[in-house]
Copies of this chain bind each other. A is one copy, B any other.
Amino acid sequence: MPQRPASPHRRTNDPEGLRQRLVDAAYIAFSTRGYHSTGLHELKREAGVTGGALSHHFPTKKALGLAVIQDRVAEAVELTWITPVKLATTTSDGIQAVFASIISELERKGTVSGCPLNNLALELSCQDKDFQAAIEAIFMRWRTAIADKLRADLRGSTIHDFDSEAMATLVVATYSGAMAMAKACQSVAPLATCAKQLTSIIQNQTSLATHLNLESGYPVSRS
C-alpha cells in the first residue's frame, strides 16, 4: 500500500518566501479594502496559501496585521516620504516632489484608495493597544524625519521663532487629511491644492523668519 499517495502535492518548504507572500497580499488587501473587510479565507486564496501555513506563520489575524504595519506600512512611509525628503536639496522641494510623485501614481491607477498608514490608523487605533502603538511609532518617525530636514534647512541662518516640530506636524497632518479628502471625492485635486499651499507656507514662513531675524521694521524687498 502506498505510504506516499499517487500525487501527493509536492511542495518546497520556503518559510521566508511564504511569509513574504502572505504579508504582501495582506498589505494590499488591508490597504485597499480595509482590515475588517478582508476575510482570511479570501486572503489565503489570493496569497495561494493553505490554512495550515497561515496559522503556522501567524497564529491570529492580529499578528498578521501587526506584521503588515511594522514591515510593509513602515517601509512604504520610508520609501515614499522619508527618503525622498531626506535626499532633496530642501524640505520644500522634497515635499513638492513627494506630492507630485504620489499624484501621478494615483492618476495612473485611476482610483484613490488612500494612505495605507491613515487607513489602518483610523480603523485599528481604537481597537487594540498594540496596533495603536505600532502606528504611533510610524507617525512619530515620519514627523521627526521632516522636522530634522527642516532644521537642517535652517542651518546657518540663526532663526529663533521657527518651530520645526510644529511645521513637520502640519505637513504630515495636511498630507493625511488631503489624502482623506482625495479618497472621499476620488480626485487628486485636494492633494494638488495642499501641496501648493504647503510649499508656499514653508517658503513664506522661513523667509519671513529670516526677515524678522534682521530685527528691523522692514523686509528685504526683492525688486
Binding site for B on A (CB under 8 A): 32-34, 36-37, 111-114, 118-119, 121-123, 125-127, 132, 135-136, 139-140, 165-167, 169-170, 172-178, 180-181, 183-186, 190, 193-194, 196-198, 201, 204-205, 208, 217-219, 221, 223
Question: With A126-B111, A184-B121 in contact, is A194–B217 under 8 Å at CB?
Answer: no
Q: A37 CB to closest chain B CB, in angstroms? A: 6
- Decide: B185 and A136 in contact? CB cutoff 8 A: yes
Chain B hits for A176, CB < 8 A? 173, 176-177, 180-181
8 residue pairs bridging A and B, Cβ less than 8 Å apart? A121-B180, A139-B181, A140-B185, A169-B194, A172-B177, A176-B180, A177-B177, A204-B208
Interface of chain A, main secondary structure: helix
Q: Report, nearest first, the 5 A-B pairs whose CB atoms are least far apart.
A: A177-B177, A176-B177, A173-B177, A217-B221, A36-B36
Q: Which residues does chain B contribute within 8 Å of A114, judged by CB atoms?
A: 122, 125-126
Contact at A166–B125, with CB atoms within 8 Å? no
